[in-house]
Structure 1
Amino acid sequence: MADTAQFLDTIIKGYTTKGDKITLGTAMLNGEPVEGAYVNVPLKTLNRHGLIAGATGTGKTKTLQILAEHLSDNGIPVLMMDIKGDLSGIAKPGEEKSFITERHAKIGLPYEAKGFPVELMGLSKQDGVRLRSTVSEFGPVLFSRVLDLNDTQTGIMSVIFKYCDDNNMPLLDLKDIKKVLQYITDEGKDEIEREYGRISTSSTGAMLRRIIELEQQDANLFFGELSFEIDDLMRINDEGKGYVNIMRLTDIQDKPKLFSTFMLSLLAEIYNQMPEKGDADRPELVIFIDEAHLIFDEASKTLLDQIETIVKLIRSKGVGLFFVTQNPTDVPNGVLSQLGLKVQHALRAFTATDRKAIKLTAENYPISEFYKTDEVITQLGTGEALITALNEKGIPTPLAATMLRAPMSRMDILTEPEISEINNSSRLVKKYAQEIDRESACEILTKKIEGITAQQQQEAERKAEEKTDSKKTTTRTSSTGSTIEKQIIKTVTSATFIRGVFGVLNKMFK
């Protein structure tokens, strides 16, 4: 049995913080919570990113909910990716049931039931705030990486963006980029070759197929206007609580390309627009990505490299990223190494492969004199987790098997009338409900092609008319010549002419 006093001293020293903090629960020793051994996470370090992992049913979603609630309470806005559709209840107060009372008595924390300000958002046509982005906002490099283009195709994409910029043709949606590709392959091939160099039609054909693949995952719902403004994620209500923006993604679970496209676009936009914050006392925004494997499973290497780069850089803008998934191995090592807070719920060892994965997972956590990490991971109950964070100096805290507090908000989804109530009172729903289809590259090039076609038609008609006139002239000349010849022959061969000629000849020889 480990020494309780020594354990308490270790936890208190490791998790004491002078600034604002979130108290996740109480550390456990030998399966029981130790009074006073509170596990605190400084707000100051929540832009250092994090991981919430564990098997199905072990409490990952509730941990996410707890973090989001306390961030909101501290005036920090939150964006949550709700893949399974079970996070909307954060808008309504929870209910203190007997098991919650018992849990909070054990961990020594009071329970308070309350709801939080919520915006419901989506990428598709389901109710809520519609999120869109234009192709131009992606830029040629990012858009090429989304399509997983090779170097030659990426160069062509850069030419397309340059051509559209030079000719004031906005690239707003996928039909714009498709139209430009078709134009530079057919009607505009000579124009592009004169100004920007020769372009391979086989490359443009391959690019067009990639765009069609993206369209098949309903990406046309995402690309377009009105573009979502990042500032609308940073709102705080009149009571000083940060808005919890819930991205409802239940209808795109089978469209990982669209999901990863949106996430990369959003992170890039946040990084580009937000000012540097340096070593701030609290994050400006915290993003939770549930079912994070959906981003990484289908992402190309170039896309993964881009995500890893943004994860490394975006914390300087005061933005924290939390990946929620079943197994830490779902997250690439390059990303995993950047995560400061790790909350590991139970994993199940049903197979030899599972046992190997658990040993590998255990090696990602600090060595502890109080736990055999690989054993504890399989013994944790629902609502319990192994936790290590960063203290205010950026040093990893001791590993703590923790009994987590219960969420203050509802641990269930909203009803349809409750969803309608939130959407009907939302200013953002009204703002982004309008679909704008202003003149862009597709319409401009369509007119241009129509003009070229009309000009070609006129030219063809003029040539046909000239050919017809030439034939008529030849026919008239031929006809006139033929008539004169016939008249001469008729005259020469007539009896009167012959008699006249012979009459003259008779006179000459008399």
Structure 2
Amino acid sequence: MLPDYEKMGVFYLGKADDGGPFLYDARHLLTHGVVIGMTGSGKTGLSIGLLEEAAIDGIPAIVIDPKGDLSNLLLTFPQLRAEDFAPWVPEGKDPAEEAATWQKGLAEWDQDGARIQRLRDAAEVSLYTPGSSSGISVSIVKSLDVPDAAVLDDPEALRERVVAVASSLLGLVGVDADPVKSREHVLLTSILHGHWSKGKSLDLETLIQRVQDPKVAKIGVLDLETFFPLKERFELAAMFNNLLASPSFAAWLEGEALDVSAFLRTKAGKPRISIFSIAHLGDAERMFFVTLLLHQMVGWMRSQSGTTSLRALLYMDEIFGYFPPVANPPSKAPLLTLLKQARAFGLGVLLATQNPVDLDYKGLSNTGTWFIGRLQTDRDKARVVEGLAGAAGGQPVDRPALERLLSGLEKRQFLVHDVHEPRGPLLLRTRFTLSYLRGPLTREHIRALRPKVAAPPVVETAVEPDQGAAGTASPLPVLPKEIVQVFLDPRTATLVPYLLGAATVSVADAKVGLDVTREVVFAAPFRSGPVPVVWDEAVWIDTKLGELSGEPPEGAEALVDALPDAAQKAKTYATWAKDFAGWLVKNQGVSRLKSKSTGLVSEAGEDEAAFRARLSQAAREERDAALDALKAKYAPKFDALRDKIRDEGLAAQEARAAADHAA
């Protein structure tokens, strides 16, 4: 039998001031939250407890961990044996004593190993180490890819992404650039915006080339050479080239792509807590990665449907430097966007800091829940009270009372200011965490954990035909004008002949509401022998037919291998086109998944993980709607009981006062 606190949609965070369980409605995080507390206040324990509760409730989370403390979420030992703790216990401590301490601590909070197992079964925890191979590596190769349509269709969102990426890139090479005054920044934003607005992706190599030759005559009203001479552009390009050539930068080019959907769910749809440990990075690298990840979160958010239920969490530990009150680092704009807009899409944002002074409280004015622990100085307390007053939405705030409460807080005790709580600020004593809190993990610890961590599914990507296959070079043939020739952008001057098939594929089924149309481009290699083309050997090309050039690339003089005779006859192409159409019918259908319990059917292009996530969200919304209806039904009775208790309390006070007066 589950404990009374184990309820769907409710987080068990500890005990209230009256000794009962402190239960926090998960949906309150839709208006976001902030955790503030000095070192030793219990801030990390509370944050880990919140993430544990989210995981048990089936809510995935992306965790940005600048200090390395949140990696402790991987240290969960259901059997609570000393040998399980031994590899992770800090030097000088006894594993048996640590195991006993955790077993006793959990029992005091009505928890046990079974709840730890429930946590492990509910969600997968993955540890990523950007710029390092200690944990799961993260590749930024696709970070310069053209953003999703949701961003491209929003001029403000596209502008924010362009400015942030340009600032982050310049920060990597040590250029502290002002977005308005810096030539370097203006040039990069011009390049990025020019490519992305045309639907074209970039990589670092192309970016370096475009810095030297932007393919534009003017920047603003000034001609390019006046605005930014070639010699100085070359110096900037050389800085990026040195970065790309650096052995230490190689770790950024390998690993999993920045795919938010894959970070939130496994391929089977299981919730995931993805922790991005960045403690090993320098300041510029941290800012670069955090900014990229936050913008990926914004893009993912805008691709989701609206909801009134919590879909996912974004947690960032130690926000110091990323969300300051005056300065505007690249990370600030996407954070502000998330705080303003994420609620409508079911994304909760939870921020934490031990430095309450360097925090943009104006940006946090709409934050619904404040968890405030022990603070170091009177200045810190005054700053937090000021922030609470700003978040009160015009409601009166008893500042002296708040300051007295803050001054009396003990370790692991927090003042909880929740705008959804009619009783006002409450006191919380945090529970024992299910995870073993040993402090930041070393690189050796992270390497030891890596085999146990499942990486996100590999995303299938388009294949570009081989540009340098071995063979005998032949001159470029002169083909009949009826045969259309197009060219990919090769890396060498020798070309490989392929048969290109392009089509618009439509699939419709009124019974399941299916109506999908998409453009496809495939390239099949020519073979020797009686059958020169087999469409089963074709590779998908990630481009549109209209984007391919009809002119051979400069310097292209020869083909690798001769073109088959059949490929030089126009009438052959009609037969190949017919074969291609038949192959598409057999191979380009749309598979659909269906839930027997709900009757919901997956949408075109929706994989199993996304479909299961949608089913989970639909169930959560249905549950929340039923809970709201139940609350609305019994609210009058609760209000009447509350009024009765208040009236009887007042009557009792008056009776005591009368009795005292009579005496």
TM range (shorter): 0.5 to 0.7
Q: Give the aligned partner of residue 427 of structure 2.
A: 401
Is 1:261 equivalent to 2:291 in the alignment? yes
1:261 Cα offset (Å): 2.1
Amino acid at match of 1:258: F
Q: Give the aligned partner of residue 290 of structure 1.
A: 317
Q: Give the aligned partner of residue 382 of structure 1.
A: 411
1:126 Cα offset (Å): 2.8
Amino acid at match of 1:314: A
Task: Kindly provide the CA deviation profile for residues 107-149 of structure 1, in whole angstroms up to 9, marking residues without a partner as x.
Answer: xx40224263311112212323322242134586313234252
Q: 1:55 aligns with which of 38, 41, 52?
A: 38
Q: Give the aligned partner of residue 275 of structure 2.
A: 246
Once the two structures are overlaid, the 10-residue window that deviates more, 262-271 or 340-349, is 262-271
Is 1:25 equivalent to 2:14 in the alignment? yes
| TM-aligned CA distance change 1:382 to 1:253, over 3 Å | farther
Once the two structures are superposed, the pairs formed by residues 73-88 of structure 1 within 5 Å of their partners are 73-88=56-71
Task: Kindly provide the CA deviation profile for residues 70-127 of structure 1, in whole angstroms up to 9, marking residues without a partner as x.
Answer: 111111111211222222222233556458746864xxx4022426331111221232
For 1:166 and 1:347, how far apart are their aligned partners in 2?
47
Is 1:423 equivalent to 2:443 in the alignment? no
Amino acid at match of 1:127: S
Higher relative contact order (CA 8 A, sep 6+): 1
Q: Give the aligned partner of residue 25 of structure 2.
A: 42
1:295 Cα offset (Å): 1.4
| TM-aligned CA distance change 1:47 to 1:355, over 3 Å | closer
Q: 1:143 aligns with which of 157, 162, 179?
A: 162
| TM-aligned CA distance change 1:437 to 1:253, over 3 Å | farther
For 2:314 and 2:413, how far apart are their aligned partners in 1?
22
For 2:103 and 2:391, how far apart are their aligned partners in 1?
29
Q: Give the aligned partner of residue 54 of structure 2.
A: 71
For 1:317 and 1:379, how far apart are their aligned partners in 2?
38
For 2:299 and 2:35, how far apart are their aligned partners in 1?
25
Amino acid at match of 1:22: F
Q: Give the aligned partner of residue 125 of structure 1.
A: 132
Once the two structures are superposed, the pairs formed by residues 174-185 of structure 1 within 5 Å of their partners are 175-184=205-214
1:45 Cα offset (Å): 2.3
Amino acid at match of 2:430: L
Q: Give the aligned partner of residue 230 of structure 1.
A: 260
For 2:334 and 2:228, how far apart are their aligned partners in 1?
23
Q: 2:369 aligns with which of 324, 327, 341?
A: 341
Aligned residues of 1:72 and 1:241 also touching (Cα < 8 A):
no
Q: Which has the larger share of helix?
A: 1
| TM-aligned CA distance change 1:145 to 1:166, over 3 Å | closer
Identical-pair percentage: 17
Aligned residues of 1:41 and 1:389 also touching (Cα < 8 A):
no
1:401 Cα offset (Å): 1.6
Once the two structures are superposed, the pairs formed by residues 313-352 of structure 1 within 5 Å of their partners are 313-349=341-377
What are the ranges of 5 or more consecutive residues in structure 2 without an aligned counterpart? 81-98, 153-157, 168-177, 468-487, 494-551, 557-663
For 1:234 and 1:306, how far apart are their aligned partners in 2?
19
Once the two structures are superposed, the pairs formed by residues 2-21 of structure 1 within 5 Å of their partners are 20-21=9-10
For 2:238 and 2:264, how far apart are their aligned partners in 1?
32
Task: Kindly provide the CA deviation profile for residues 329-375 of structure 1, in whole angstroms up to 9, marking residues without a partner as x.
Answer: 433123211211211110022xx644643553564677788993212
Amino acid at match of 1:388: H
Task: Kindly provide the CA deviation profile for residues 10-61 of structure 1, in whole angstroms up to 9, marking residues without a partner as x.
Answer: xxxxxx9996211212222xxxxx233x322112222221101110111111
1:234 Cα offset (Å): 2.2
Aligned residues of 1:385 and 1:401 also touching (Cα < 8 A):
yes
Aligned residues of 1:259 and 1:294 also touching (Cα < 8 A):
no
For 2:343 and 2:47, how far apart are their aligned partners in 1?
19
Aligned residues of 2:336 and 2:363 also touching (Cα < 8 A):
yes
- Describe the SS at the equivalent of 2:363: helix
| TM-aligned CA distance change 1:252 to 1:78, over 3 Å | same
Amino acid at match of 1:112: D
- Describe the SS at the equivalent of 2:438: coil
- Describe the SS at the equivalent of 1:55: coil
1:210 Cα offset (Å): 10
For 2:403 and 2:239, how far apart are their aligned partners in 1?
46
1:224 Cα offset (Å): 8.3
Aligned residues of 1:26 and 1:39 also touching (Cα < 8 A):
yes
Amino acid at match of 2:409: L
Q: Given the two structures, how large is their TM-score scaled by the length of structure 1?
A: 0.66
| TM-aligned CA distance change 1:165 to 1:312, over 3 Å | closer
1:182 Cα offset (Å): 0.3
For 2:218 and 2:466, how far apart are their aligned partners in 1?
26
Q: Give the aligned partner of residue 412 of structure 1.
A: 438
If you compute each CA radius of gyration, which structure gives the higher value, 1 or 2? 1
| TM-aligned CA distance change 1:237 to 1:447, over 3 Å | closer
Task: Kindly provide the CA deviation profile for residues 418-459 of structure 1, in whole angstroms up to 9, marking residues without a partner as x.
Answer: 644542244427849x9x99999xx969979xx99989xxxx
| TM-aligned CA distance change 1:144 to 1:369, over 3 Å | closer
Q: Give the aligned partner of residue 464 of structure 1.
A: none
Could you say what the CA RMSD is over the residues aligned between the two structures, in angstroms? 4.7
For 2:390 and 2:408, how far apart are their aligned partners in 1?
18
Amino acid at match of 2:316: I
Is 1:172 equivalent to 2:155 in the alignment? no
1:293 Cα offset (Å): 1.4
Is 1:270 equivalent to 2:300 in the alignment? yes
Amino acid at match of 1:85: G
For 1:164 and 1:358, how far apart are their aligned partners in 2?
44
For 1:27 and 1:193, how far apart are their aligned partners in 2?
64
| TM-aligned CA distance change 1:49 to 1:74, over 3 Å | same
| TM-aligned CA distance change 1:212 to 1:51, over 3 Å | farther
- Describe the SS at the equivalent of 1:46: helix
1:67 Cα offset (Å): 0.6
Aligned residues of 2:137 and 2:254 also touching (Cα < 8 A):
no
Aligned residues of 1:130 and 1:429 also touching (Cα < 8 A):
no
- Describe the SS at the equivalent of 1:232: helix
For 2:7 and 2:27, how far apart are their aligned partners in 1?
10
- Describe the SS at the equivalent of 1:335: coil
- Describe the SS at the equivalent of 1:315: helix
